[in-house]
Chain A
Amino acid sequence: MTQPSLFAAWRAMVMRDLTLAMRRRADVLTTVFFFIIVVSLFPLGVSPEMAVLREIAPGVIWVAALLASMLSLGRLFADDFQDGTLEQMLLLPQPLSVLVLGKVLAHWLVSGVPLVLLSPLLGMQLGLDVDAILLLMLTLLLGTPVLSLIGSVGAALTLGVRGGGVLVSLLVLPLYIPVLIFGTGAVDAAISGMDYDGHLSLLGAFLMLAALSTPLATAAALRISAE
């Protein structure tokens, strides 16, 4: 296969998934509402005290984003598996991992980017100042694609398994934890006036590593699950 057709196929895959997401908006909104609701409940449940909220804000927003991202993993391959389009995808004359990367990108655009865009609003609600909010956005921008990439491996492995949702959480959560720690760590460090460059570099390194390795793992897992 020539390179232009591989890129065309990759783009077709991304556009297809974005179109599908636009036609099933309810699915996308579920993730976003979940994120908003979880974060909004904290002032009610913990304390409306600004000092307390400011303290827990980075952690709360990051945990909510992580759970919302995990909630949306089920849709990544399950529909394609059921209607046979996944089977067709495995039989394409293109490298499967490249197409998987396209699918994960579309999934992140639909379920990760809205979280990044909403985070300033929720950050303000929890009393973060402007600098902390911008940094929070940056960590989410670096971190949520890692969540989608790692999640894709779990989603592919549990494809067609009964109770796959719980299994995905068990598989994927341990791998999410470093992202969570450095994501919240950066914002916490900034709030307490410390240097946070190291945290961001590590998040960037996670992203590079995940983007290079997880599509291969996901492609292999899909071939096994589809048997």
Chain B
Amino acid sequence: MLEVRDLECVRGDHRLFTDLNFQLQGGELLRLRGSNGSGKTSLLRTLCGLLEPAEGNVFWNGENIRAQRDEFNAELLYLGHHNGIKSELTGFENLSISNTLRGETPSEDQIYNALGQIGLAGREDLPTQVLSQGQKRRVALARLLLSDAALWVLDEPFTALDVGAVALLASLIEGHLQKGHMVVYTTHQEVEMRAGACREVDLDLLMQDRAEQK
């Protein structure tokens, strides 16, 4: 269970959001909404522990994520704006290394299968610098196929993807939720998702409410 209590985020002199509270149970999907610069990425990075909140805390299974970094990281998979892949390495090498670093050991077949499934069959052994923007994104997304992390945090996962890949990713997210895991994501695209419990946090509305309360 992911829980956020009284979270406040400040970037520079600008307060992005304050008094943010929510809980996310297994099997639930959370979509963050907000205009550009409303703090979606900052919130996602705070949830991962990359950014220190100005106020409040993030709890994973009742314990502060900062107190159990390694345990929390083992259950977390984050996909940020940057793909986090090395352009000199092939898709296969990228996946194999990132999985070994995470302490997981998928077999070669599993990695090739994942790359094939994500639509990169035949391009597994090309350095990712010769791939297109969308294909690089797919290499990064292939990590989702190989991971059994309980919490996916996805920052604009649909960017640069074609219609087929968007549908594939949506089905991946649905499958992950059905296993009783959690997904937090942001997007400006309207993607229909058949999820049991779909929740939304709108950072613009939140700030309006807080302004009215004052």
Contact = CB atoms under 8 A, between A and B. Distances in A.
Interface of A: 1-2, 5-6, 8-9, 12-13, 15-16, 19-20, 23-24, 79, 82-85, 87-95, 99, 226-227
A91 B88 contact: no
A52 B76 CA distance: 62
A91 B81 contact: no
Interface string B129-158: 000000000000000000000000000000
A85 B86 contact: yes
Given A19-B89, A84-B83, A227-B50, A12 B74 contact: no
Contacts of B122: none
Interface residues of B, number: 30
Interface in B68-120: 70-71, 73-74, 76, 78, 80-89, 93, 97-98, 100-103, 105
B169 interface: no
A12 B51 contact: no
A16 B50 contact: no
Contacts of A2: 103
B100 to A, nearest CB: 4
A227 B74 contact: no
B52 interface: yes
A92 B102 contact: yes
Interface of B: 48-52, 70-71, 73-74, 76, 78, 80-89, 93, 97-98, 100-103, 105, 127
Given A8-B103, A12-B97, A227-B50, A83 B83 contact: yes
A222 to B, nearest CB: 11
| Residue of B89, B101, B127 with highest tally of chain A CB at under 10 A | B101
A8 B101 CA distance: 7
Contact of A83 (B48, B74, B84, B93): B84
A5 B99 CA distance: 11
B87 A83 contact: yes
B160 to A, nearest CB: 14
A93 B93 contact: no
Contacts of B93: 19
Nearest to A83: B82
| Residue of B51, B80, B88 with highest tally of chain A CB at under 10 A | B88
B50 A226 contact: yes
Given A2-B103, A91-B76, 19 more contacts: A1-B74, A8-B103, A9-B103, A15-B97, A16-B86, A20-B86, A20-B88, A83-B87, A85-B84, A85-B86, A87-B80, A87-B84, A88-B84, A88-B98, A91-B48, A92-B73, A93-B71, A94-B101, A95-B70
B99 to A, nearest CB: 9
A9 B101 contact: yes
B83 to A, nearest CB: 6
A88 B97 CA distance: 12
A89 B78 CA distance: 11
Contact of B101 (A79, A89, A226): A89
Contacts of B78: 87-88, 91
Given A19-B93, A83-B87, A87-B50, A92 B101 contact: yes
B70 A91 contact: no
B50 A91 contact: yes
Contacts of B50: 87, 90-91, 226-227
A23 B103 CA distance: 25
Contacts of B87: 83
